[in-house]
Amino acid sequence: MSEKYKVIDNTVPTFITITVVDWVDLFVRPVYCNILDDSFNYCIKEKGLSVHAYVYMTSHIHLIATAFDGELQDVIRDFKKFTSKKIVEAIQEHPESRREWLLRKFSYEAQKAGRAKKYKFWQDGFHPIILDTLEKIEQRVNYIHYNPVEAQIVFHERNYVNSSYKNYEQDNNVFCNVNVEPLW
């Protein structure tokens, strides 16, 4: 991993993007998003991950996270490894109109990468960006929450289910599926 994309301080909020190979639109079905929710919550409870903001777009995830009890890079690596296996299993086991195409695609990506595993689901890396000022944090939180509006999936951030936006709304008692620790 180049120095440019290395986590320097696990305790400073870090903006992360995790992308499905070739930007395949997969997170359009709740079954796959539920795997992400469960996996993030496990990492929060068991691996010391703190998720401060997130959004699941159709082909990628944006989040701001810290890891006070461990190495953020290791937690993200483990998250990607576990979710890739669970999502491929879900593709195989649940109704999925694109099953054959998806499995062929992820198998091809594994062969192309020259790795021993059968499927490659996530792109390599996660391009961490340290957010060491309040201005940078606010800009990225707003970027994360506005992403579904920018993509014309919803008209307002509050209408998007797979994001932490509701945790940042004033006077809101509804929280998202991931145990988020808002930064303000």
Mean pLDDT of 151-177: 84
Residue 2, pLDDT > 80, answer no
The alpha carbons of the chain give a radius of gyration, in whole angstroms, of 16
> What pLDDT shows up at residue 175?
62
From the options 3.40.190.10, 3.40.50.2000, 3.40.50.2300, 3.30.70.1290, give the CATH code of 3-168: 3.30.70.1290
This prediction has a pTM of 0.90
Mapping DSSP to helix (H, G, I), strand (E, B) and coil, where does residue 177 land? coil
Q: 148-162: per-residue pLDDT in tens?
A: 999 999 999 999 999
Mean pLDDT of 112-124: 87
Which residue matches tokens 């195989």? 92
